[in-house]
C-alpha cells in the first residue's frame, strides 16, 4: 500500500457535491474578485476564530507581508522570528524593507519562546513574528507580555495552525495580527493559493483592507502605495464549504497522532512530538526526531517501502545564502534540521494506514 505524506482527495470526495455546486454558483454569479462571496467567507472565518475582522488576500505570504506593513514595519526596523520555518516567514520581513533577526527554538516543540525572542531583541526591533510550527504555537501570553514591555507589535504566522487553541482563544486572534494560509496542504486547504489576515484592531483591519487593494480608499483615489492581493472568489466559495469541517478534520489529525504516539513512543533513537502545556496541537505535520545521524537512512527506508515522508526543514532560514551575511547562530534549530522527519498526516487517513506507517518506522529503526 502506497501511503502519501498528504492526500487531499478524500476531503474532496466527502464534499464533492457541495464543492461542485459552490463552484457552479460562483461561475454563474459573475462576481469573481472580492464581492459578496469573499465577504461571506471573511465573516465566517472571523466568527469561527472569534475575532472582529478577517481580510482575505491571495496567499499566506501576502498575509504576512501586508500584516507587517499595516503594523508599521519599515526600512531600518528589525523583526524577530524563527529560523525553523518556511522561508516566507523571513522573506516578508525583507520585502517590507526590514531586517529579520532569528530567535532560537525550543527543542521539544520547535517553537520560539518568549525568552529566545527577547534575547534577540535590540533597540531596532519593531515587531515579533512567532511561527506556529507544525500545528501548535509558543505561549502567546508570554509573547504578548514581552511585546507589551518593549512596545512591539505581534504578527502571528498561523499558516500551519488554523483552528488551534490556547485557552479560550484561537491562534491568529491573540497577537495584534494573524496571517493564515489556505495552500492546499494546510489544515484548511483550498484549491490553489489563498490567505487571510485576522485582527481585533479596527484600525489595523482598515489598513490591511487598504493595502490589499493598491492603497485605494475609493475608486480612482489612492492614499498610499499598496498591493494587488485579493482572495479569489472561487477560493472563498470552496473554502466556505470546507470551513465547517475543519475542527473535525483537526480532531482526526489528533487521533492519528495519538496512534503514532502509542506505537512509536520509547523507541530507541526516536523522539515523538511534544505537546506544550499552554495549548493544543492540531498536527499540520507529525514530526519526529531521529538521533544518531540515522534520519536520512530511515527516510530512505520508508520511501522504499512506499511511505511518504519529508524533512521540514533541512536547512534553517538563517543558513540560507541570502541571509548568510547576518551571521546568525541558532544551534537548537540547526541541530533539529539534522534530525526531523515528518510522517504521513491527513484527514480520512484512518488507523490501518497509520499502523502501517508506524510499523515501517519501527522496522526502519531496527535495521
Residue boundaries of the structural domains of the chain? 9-244, 246-366
CATH classification for the domain delimited by 246-366, as one of 3.40.50.10470, 3.90.209.20, 3.90.1150.10, 3.40.605.10: 3.90.1150.10
- Give the pLDDT of residue 93: 98
Residue among 286, 294, 333 nearest 314 (CA): 333
Question: Which burial class, exposed, middle or buried, applies to 2 when counting CB atoms under 10 A from its CB (0-12, 13-18, 19+)?
Answer: exposed
What is the distance between the alpha carbons of residues 332 and 107, in angstroms, rounded to a whole number? 6
What is the distance between the alpha carbons of residues 61 and 68, in angstroms, rounded to a whole number? 11
| Predicted TM-score (pTM) of this structure | 0.97
- Give the pLDDT of residue 1: 72
The SS3 of residue 259 is helix
CATH 3.60.21.70 assigned to domain 9-244? The reply is no
Say if CB 11 and CB 347 are below 8 A apart.
yes
- Give the pLDDT of residue 367: 85
* φ/ψ bin of 97: left (φ > 0), alpha (ψ from -120 to 50), beta (otherwise): left
Residue among 128, 64, 121 nearest 96 (CA): 64
- Give the pLDDT of residue 342: 98
pLDDT tens figures, 270-302: 999 999 999 999 999 999 999 999 999 999 999
- Give the pLDDT of residue 355: 97
C-alpha cell read off for 283: 498536527
The SS3 of residue 340 is strand
- Residues paired with 154 in a beta bridge: 128
C-alpha cell read off for 224: 498610499
Residue among 136, 148, 79, 144 nearest 111 (CA): 136
Please list the ranges in the chain whose pLDDT falls under 50.
Answer: none
Amino acid at each position: 500500500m502506497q501511503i502519501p505524506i498528504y492526500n487531499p482527495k478524500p476531503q474532496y470526495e466527502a464534499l464533492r457535491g457541495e464543492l461542485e455546486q459552490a463552484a457552479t454558483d460562483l461561475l454563474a454569479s459573475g462576481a469573481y474578485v472580492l464581492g459578496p462571496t469573499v465577504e461571506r467567507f471573511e465573516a465566517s472565518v472571523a466568527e469561527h476564530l472569534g475575532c472582529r475582522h478577517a481580510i482575505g488576500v491571495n496567499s499566506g505570504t501576502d498575509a504576512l507581508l501586508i500584516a507587517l506593513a499595516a503594523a508599521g514595519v519599515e526600512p531600518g526596523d528589525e523583526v524577530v522570528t524563527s529560523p525553523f520555518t518556511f522561508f516566507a516567514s523571513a522573506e516578508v520581513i525583507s520585502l517590507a524593507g526590514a531586517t529579520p533577526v532569528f530567535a532560537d527554538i525550543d527543542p521539544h516543540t520547535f517553537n520560539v519562546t518568549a525568552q529566545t525572542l527577547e534575547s534577540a531583541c535590540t533597540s531596532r526591533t519593531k515587531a515579533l513574528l512567532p511561527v506556529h510550527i507544525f500545528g501548535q504555537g509558543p505561549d502567546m501570553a508570554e509573547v504578548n507580555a514581552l511585546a507589551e514591555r518593549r512596545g512591539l507589535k505581534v504578527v502571528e504566522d498561523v499558516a500551519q495552525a488554523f483552528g488551534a487553541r490556547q485557552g479560550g482563544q484561537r491562534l491568529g486572534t491573540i497577537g495584534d495580527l494573524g496571517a493564515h494560509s489556505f495552500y492546499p496542504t494546510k489544515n484548511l486547504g483550498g484549491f490553489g493559493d489563498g490567505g487571510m489576515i485576522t485582527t481585533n484592531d479596527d484600525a489595523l483591519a482598515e489598513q490591511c483592507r487598504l493595502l490589499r487593494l493598491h492603497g485605494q480608499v475609493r475608486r480612482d483615489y489612492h492614499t498610499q502605495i499598496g498591493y494587488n492581493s485579493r482572495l479569489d472568489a472561487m477560493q472563498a466559495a470552496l473554502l466556505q464549504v470546507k470551513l465547517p469541517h475543519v475542527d473535525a478534520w483537526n480532531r482526526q489529525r489528533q487521533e492519528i497522532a495519538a496512534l503514532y504516539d502509542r506505537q512509536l513512543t520509547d523507541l530507541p533513537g526516536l523522539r515523538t512530538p511534544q505537546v506544550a502545556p499552554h495549548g493544543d496541537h492540531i498536527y499540520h505535520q507529525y514530526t519526529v526526531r531521529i538521533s544518531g545521524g540515522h534520519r536520512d537512512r530511515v527516510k530512505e527506508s520508508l520511501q522504499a517501502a512506499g511511505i511518504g515522508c519529508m524533512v521540514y526543514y533541512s536547512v534553517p532560514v538563517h543558513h540560507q545564502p541570502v541571509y548568510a551575511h547576518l551571521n546568525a547562530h541558532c544551534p537548537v534549530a540547526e541541530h533539529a534540521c539534522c534530525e526531523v522527519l515528518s510522517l504521513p498526516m491527513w484527514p480520512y487517513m484512518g488507523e490501518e494506514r497509520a499502523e502501517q506507517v508506524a510499523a515501517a518506522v519501527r522496522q526502519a529503526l531496527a535495521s
